[in-house]
Amino acid sequence: MAVGGAAYLVSKAIRGAKVVGFADLGMEAIYEFEVKDMPVTVAVDSNGISVHNTGPKEWQERISTGKLASIPVTVA
């Protein structure tokens, strides 16, 4: 997942790309990218848990309880 406006940074991390499915769809095809130091957040982990589901719930809780301090930041 990359935030809008970050396309430039993401594009600089791509070292190679190849179509792996639906080539006839052009840019909508499925691509495999070779990347290095790509600035993105994992949206769905290996257990199928999506930040699109957990994020809003977590922030709603933090905002409603005032628990905004000590926000953990993970750097991989």
| Cα separation, 42 vs 23, whole angstroms | 25
Mean pLDDT, rounded, for 11-20: 93
Q: Is the whole model's pTM more than 0.75, yes or no?
A: no
Tell me the Cα Rg of the chain: 17
Residue pLDDT, tens place only, 19-76? 999 999 998 999 999 999 887 777 888 899 898 888 898 888 888 887 766 666 666 5
The pLDDT of residue 60 is 87
Check if the beta carbon of residue 22 is closer than 8 Å to that of residue 29.
yes
The pLDDT of residue 71 is 64
The pLDDT of residue 18 is 96
